[in-house]
Amino acid sequence: MAYHNPVLLNECIQGLGIKPEGIYVDVTFGGGGHSKSILSKLDGGKLFAFDQDKSASANALSQPNFKLINANFRYLKNFLRMEKVIKIDGLLADLGVSSHQFDVAERGFSTRFDGKLDMRMNVNSILSAKDVVNDYSEADLANVFYKYGDLKNSRKISKKIIDAREVSSINTTSELKDVINDLVPKKHMNQFLARVFQAIRIEVNDEIKALEEMLLSAVDLLNPNGRLVVLSYHSLEDRLVKNLMKKGNLLGKIEKDFFGNPIKELQEINSKVIVAPECEIRENSRARSAKLRIAEKINGD
């Protein structure tokens, strides 16, 4: 099963500062590339991995100190508690959608193939892309495209969809592309369509809220000096990660204690965001938009 090569793999693994006997979590297992590297550095330690996409189970690793949990990473704390894990030494999140998901036409993630409007990371979820496109109000659709796709003509896109579905429902990725074809800038066609699909996918999977919940859980779970390593691919995700690591909260507003010291539980390891070198981008186009941030839990003693 073809999954993408992990972006900035060495930098991510180094960022975790792995202790051989530590407990680590890979919340975006996918093809298992990161997990294999983490496991190779453990001696007495344990690794728990999360992936809500059941197809990832085909890549599960057989080591006795590894466990794959088929669940959304927003439920991180609950599932670790079931494993009697209260604290961890590091957590890695690679927030990109896997190449495998993009390459399976019937999943509906890709603008390249014709497939059902689905886009569910968890195929058992109730809400699909078809529901969003056909059932959301004009205002709600416009909000999705503006908020999650940064599309300035979000209202025009929404209006086109509303007008089209009054004639017949929009069921496939090709039908959606045909509906908004007049609005697609010819010079930036791929980028525009990618943003439209991204916006719908984020809404379907409640990705931003899930990320917020996971990040806050991660901070609570980390031992003093434990590491949080996050690789993001669009500005919405990166802003949340940046705010948490730099300012101490998801809103990005510095709060201070009685003595005027910033209230934050993390200390950045890299003050500047880490991006992929040109040589990696040439070999893996996914690396172009990747931003890596690393932080350490401040020792409260």
Q: Domain span at residue 150?
A: 104-205
pLDDT for 1: 45
Of 159, 183, 205, which marks where a domain is finished?
205
pLDDT for 110: 65
Same domain for 75 and 152?
Answer: no
Of 179, 205, 231, which marks where a domain is finished?
205
* Burial of 49: CB neighbours in 10 Å, binned 0-12, 13-18, 19+: buried
Same domain for 95 and 213?
Answer: yes
Same domain for 81 and 214?
Answer: yes
CATH of the domain at 199: 1.10.150.170
pLDDT for 202: 95
Q: What is the pLDDT along the chain (301 residues), one digit of tens a residue?
A: 445 678 999 999 999 999 999 999 999 998 899 999 999 999 999 999 999 988 778 888 899 999 999 999 999 999 999 999 999 999 999 997 755 454 454 454 566 667 899 999 888 899 999 999 999 999 999 999 999 999 999 999 999 999 999 999 999 999 999 999 999 998 889 899 999 999 999 999 999 999 999 999 999 999 999 999 999 999 999 999 999 999 999 999 999 999 998 899 999 999 899 999 999 999 988 899 999 999 999 976 4
Same domain for 137 and 227?
Answer: no
pLDDT for 29: 93
pLDDT for 300: 60
pLDDT for 276: 95
**Is 258 within the bounds of a domain?**
yes
Distances (CA, A) of 28 to 6, 35, 214, 245: 11, 9, 11, 20
Same domain for 123 and 188?
Answer: yes
**Is 1 within the bounds of a domain?**
no
Same domain for 134 and 173?
Answer: yes
Rounded to two decimals, what is the model's pTM? 0.92
Q: Are strands 46-50 and 23-26 parallel, antiparallel or unpaired?
A: parallel
Q: How many domains would you assign to the chain?
A: 2
